[in-house]
Structure 1
Amino acid sequence: MSRRRKDINYCDEDIPEASSLAVAEPHEISDSLVHEVAQITKLRSGPSGYLGRFLSNGSKGLVSPVKMLVGRESNYAGRGRFTESDKCHVLSRYLPVHGPKHVDHMRSRVYVSQFSSDGSLFVAGFQRSHIRIYNVENDWKIQKDIIARNLRWTITDTCLSPDQQYLAYSSMSPLVHIVNVQSATTVSRANVTEIHDGLDFSTEGFDGEFSIFSVKFSNDGREIVAAAGDDAIYVYDLMENKPSLRIPAHSSDVNTVCFADESGHLIYSGSDDHLCKVWDRRCFVSRGKAAGVLVGHLEGVTFIDSHGDGQYLISNGKDQATKLWDIRKMSSGVSFYMPGATDWDYRWMEYPEHLRNVKHPHDQSLATYRGHSVLCTLIRCYFSPAYSTAQKYIYTGSSEGSVHIYDMVTGNQVAKLEHHEAPVRDCSWHPHYPIMISSSWDGALAKWEFLGEVDTPEVTRLRRRRTTIYYY
């Protein structure tokens, strides 16, 4: 087998605790990130136009939501309502850091967990054959309890179709199964109470067994892209019911894959060969020819999340870092491979201390975020929601049992959610509300929220001093 594998800290606004901050080193934040990405985020999450200028009084800080409400009522913006960026400006301040509250617990490791695109459903995949779909709007009642078919070792990934009609799930095999989520059957036992259609990703000419580690539906629901342990990426045509494309993409296991945007033309992949690659299906010159390579990780890539604009993406690496990339800076096929730690296995060994601050000599990333740990399993990372935060944060699970939230532009760690007693492999931020679910190998699903009134002694003390509460 290849090498894969409750407390909130507050500090006073005017007395920051430097020791509690996790900040990216100055050389790890590029000028283009500060200039370009910062401007995009500001436009999407700052108070708009005259309203912002009038209320800020020249201040560089956040505008008070109370003042914004007054400004809206007085129609300073000339619109009589908040713009989307006004809403983001208010909502992005309220991080889901209070809790956690119990959602569910099983005697099985949680490997994957995600909200649906509209936030009405939540999917959790457990190691011992279970996948549970919760109805978020019905007090987290279990809508579907799925007993997986032909499971090998664990559920490796799940993905809801865009219309939320079907769920695809994968395990350590070349088969991906499809379940009808909206059927009347609550307990869906594979091929006993309900048919779980099997999609065979095996292709002619390849005789070996391989695993599927990542699956994603295309935006139109007609295709599924998969990352496999035979070093390849697969595209499955659901209309034709067969694989339509196999790309020999990497020189080691492909751990993660996703579509770059809604068009489905661009695909991102990440592998144990340390590389992230970009694939353009419109202009394949030859089989296996990537549109570009992104170099910078010193160890294998565990997960990739797209910004959704076909330009930016983030990746988690076994070198204990999350990196932000701009595909306009990718190289044209030159790998600049740099070997990582020798005789090191991330599944049961700590990362060598002397390598923690080593930088790849050809690092093409825009920013590097450190503070979490990527050990034991394929830890996942994400951009925060566009609707409520304008994607101004990056968040990731961590092997020591916590969730880390970073400011994308500054690199500062703005919150750390600590509760679990085992690695947090996956976590998910609700697309519209300040709610996050963390899922862990301790079998627990924990819900974190922003609460308007939190009467802890520390918060009460800060209120009396009229200081702003920061999470670090």
Structure 2
Amino acid sequence: MPPKEDAEFNALKKEIEALKETIKGTATSNKDKTLEELSGSLGDPPRVKLSTKKTLKGHIHKVNCVDFAGDNRHLVSASLDGKLIVWDTWTGNKVQIIPLRSSWVMSCCFAKSGNFVASGGMDNMATVHDLNNRDSSGAAKVIRELAGYDGFLSSCKFVDDRRLLTGSGDMKICQWDLESGKRTLELYGHAGDVVTLSLCPGDENIFVTGSVDQTSKLWDLRQKSFVQSFWGHTSDVNSVCFHPSSLAFASASEDKTARFFDLRADQQLGQYQTPGTATSFTCCTLSKSGRHIIAGCDDSTIHAFDMLKTTHLGSLSGHENRITSLSMTDSGLGLASSSWDQHVRIWI
């Protein structure tokens, strides 16, 4: 890449920024009403009054990620203590403790079937464990170590028991065949670390990603490329979450805003900030109805917003440090949060 002071580079950069502004202007001109105007006649949703049902204690270092299995009961958490813990959230008991080769784990995910968990981080590798088989030490057996990254593994999601999607610090997204251990797709499009990804609930070929390049992108595995780009954030996009309708998604950013993007409108429809002193958002999820956006912050609080009216509906307190991850059960009846305070909380 030419140096920034290079005249040609600066000219191209200005041209790209001008094109972005043109696209934004065209999208804005096509918007005849705001989300707030359209939802003004709707009744207010109930305020969020979740409380901590269980506090899961077992990690001895920062917990960076949590993810529910498809049974709405079991949860996996990943911590810088070098452990994955599989929890029974109904009883609060540990089901399995899985030691990792690297303690610098940044992401984890649970297969909906409950058969597998995957994790990765600064070891530049995705590791898949089979929860139904044990190794000689009694821990869940490692069935795949997926190498081939030039940067840290920041995010991972099971498409199904045979396929895994990963995002990494080398700006690429990979799809892996877990039966062969081979990479079947390698996708590029972001201009910075791919930090987060979320699968479309209605189509396993569609997913959305967020990046430190301040954009979110919609991808189609059949086309082997991204099909839409979404601008608006002015800092790193830390988290994205597909809407249950499959027609929109929410995002959370270091720029102290959470936002709501509609795929059909090809633009942002809503923007959300904490009341009083704004704080950076680290993660987000959506309620089963899609009406509530729930976002975690770096000041240890979790906030809920009315997606339609963009109003603040309440906050959840209990953690004592930065919120790192949120996971909603498929049933929509339970929420898990992880934090640098070394704990996982289950909210109902």
Global fold match (TM > 0.5): yes
| 1:101–1:308 CA distance, 2 compared to 1 (3 A) | closer
Listed as ranges, the matches of 1:31-50 within 5 Å are 31=33, 33=35
**The one of 359, 366, 369 aligned to 2:269:** 366
1:140, distance to aligned residue in structure 2 (A): 1.8
Q: Counterparts of 1:23-62 in structure 2 under 5 Å?
A: 31=33, 33=35
Distance 1:192 1:430 in 2: 28
Shift of 1:93: 4.3
* TM alignment of 1:440-451, pairs within 5 A: 440-449=339-348
The match for 1:232 among 146, 163, 172 is: 172
TM-score, scaled relative to structure 1? 0.61
* 1:165 equivalent in structure 2: 115
Note if 1:312 corresponds to 2:248: yes
Q: How many angstroms apart in 1 are the aligned matches of 2:215 and 2:189?
A: 10
Identity %: 20
CA distance in structure 1 between the partners assigned to 2:197 and 2:107 by the alignment:
11
Gaps of 5+ in 1: 1-28, 43-59, 63-91, 204-208, 331-363, 450-472
- Aligned partner (choices 310, 328, 353) of residue 264 of structure 2: 328
Moved more, 438-447 or 162-171: 438-447
CA contact 1:201–1:243 (8 Å) conserved in 2: no
User: Which position in structure 2 is the counterpart of 1:452?
Assistant: none
Separation (CA, whole Å) in 1 of partners of 2:161 and 2:335: 26
Q: 1:147 aligns with which of 94, 99, 103?
A: 99
- TM superposition shift of 1:193: 4.4
Distance in 2 between residues matched to 1:201 and 1:105, nearest whole Å: 29
What is the match of residue 275 of structure 1? 215
Q: Do the aligned residues in 1 keep the contact of 2:79 with 2:103 (CA within 8 Å)?
A: no
The corresponding residue for 1:425 is 324
Q: Hey, what does 1:176 align to over in structure 2?
A: 126
CA contact (8 A) 1:30 1:367 kept: no
Report the CA distance between 1:301 and its aligned residue: 0.8
Q: How many residues align?
A: 315
Which contiguous aligned blocks of 4+ residues in structure 1 show a shift greater than 6 angstroms? none
Matched with 2:71 is 118
Task: State whether residues 96 and 434 of structure 1, in contact with CA within 8 Å, keep that contact through their aligned partners in structure 2.
Answer: no
Alpha-carbon distance in 2 for matches of 1:306, 1:222? 22
Asked if the contact 2:302/2:315 (under 8 Å) is kept, the reply is yes
TM-superposed deviation, 1:299: 0.8
The 2-side partners of 1:323 and 1:440 are apart by 22
- Asked whether the 8 Å contact 1:266–1:310 carries over to 2, the reply is no
Secondary structure class of the residue paired with 2:185: strand
1:377-413 per-position Cα deviation (integer Å, ceiling 9, x unaligned): xx210011x2xxx121010111111111111111111
- What is the match of residue 82 of structure 2? 129
Counting only pairs closer than 5 Å after superposition, residues 53-92 of structure 1 correspond to structure 2 as: none
Q: Does 1:412 align with 2:315?
A: no
Shift of residue 308, structure 1, vs aligned partner? 4.0
1:212 touches 1:226 (CA, 8 Å); kept in 2? yes
Answer whether contact 2:89 2:346 (CA < 8 A) is retained. Answer: no
Shift of the 96–435 alpha-carbon distance from structure 1 to 2, 3 Å rule, reads: farther
Letter in 1 for 2:285: Y
1:82 corresponding residue in structure 2: none
- What is the CA RMSD across the aligned residues, in angstroms? 2.8
**Structure with the higher fraction of residues in strand conformation:** 2
1:93-114 alpha-carbon deviations (Å, 9 max, x no partner):
4845234653315321111123
1:200 aligns with 2:176: no
Is the helix fraction higher in 1 or 2? 1
Tell me by how many angstroms 1:267 deviates: 2.4
SS of structure 1 residue aligned to 2:264: helix
- Unmatched tracts of structure 2, length 5 or more: 1-30
| d(CA) in 2 for partners of 1:194, 1:120 | 19
Structure 2 CA distance for aligned equivalents of residues 241 and 30 of structure 1: 49
| TM-score (norm: length of structure 2) | 0.81
Q: CA deviation at 1:309?
A: 3.6
Taking structure 1 as reference, are residues 236 and 434 closer, same or farther at Cα in structure 2, changes over 3 Å only?
closer
Change (3 A) 1:428 1:263: closer
Describe the SS at the equivalent of 1:31.
Answer: coil
CA 1:447 to 1:259, structure 2 compared with 1: closer, same or farther past 3 Å? closer
Contact 1:322–1:369 (Cα < 8 Å) also in 2: yes
Identify the residue that residue 398 of structure 1 maps to in structure 2: 297
Q: Distance in 2 between matches of 1:428 and 1:264?
A: 19
